[in-house]
Amino acid sequence: MAGGGRAGDGGLSGSVDIDTLPHDRLNANDLARLRELFDAEYFAEFGAWDPDRPYGYAPHDVHIIARLGAAVVGHVGWARRTIGVGTAEIVVAGVGGVLISRHARRQRAGARLLAHAALSMKDAGGIEYGYLGWRDEVVAFYESCGWRRISAAEHSIDRAGRPVLQPPGPPLLTLALDPKPRSWPAGTIDLRGRAW
């Protein structure tokens, strides 16, 4: 689930540390702290967070976690997938689960998390683009972090497991990971699974 959270007050006392962990290396404490972060934001609307199918979206291969002391105050997740775009195939890192605790907002924690996520995608090798879709109100934030908005229809599997076609319009964003990327192809995007 991509995002950016709602505006909040509060500030940080201390410094935020950022870790990058493969999904299979999350320990029980990591999972408990991530559950606290997500449930504080989304429990009333979506129920309990499940790391293997977060709110019905695709799970993440890699988690970028912001910590303030023992607390998890931010998260970005991504997963490698080959998607179809028109007649082309592109290997993407599908990004979701972007969330900053209200205690860490307005402190550039989100920008730092996205920068760490981009580095981890590049370090993984063989991924051409980061890819995400979300709300109009957070597009400016992602664009300030180097993401580009594109317009295309998008096939995916929805949160209930049904195939859906989203017409062009809602924000889709890409982040070129190669210094000399090929142009994003024209055509309908087929995520070949659930969104992140």
What is the rounded CA–CA span in Å between residue 17 and residue 109? 10
pLDDT at position 14 is 66
| Global confidence as pTM | 0.90
Query: What percent of the chain clears pLDDT 70, i.e. is strictly above it?
Result: 92
Three-state secondary structure call for residue 61: coil
pLDDT at position 12 is 43
Three-state secondary structure call for residue 78: strand
pLDDT at position 10 is 37
The two tokens of residue 126 are: 């063989």
HSE value, Cβ hemisphere, 13 Å, CA-based, for 54: 29
pLDDT at position 103 is 76
Domain ranges of the chain: 17-194
- For domain 17-194, give the CATH number: 3.40.630.30
pLDDT < 70 regions, the chain: 1-14, 106
pLDDT at position 11 is 42
Three-state secondary structure call for residue 72: strand
The DSSP call for residue 13 is: S
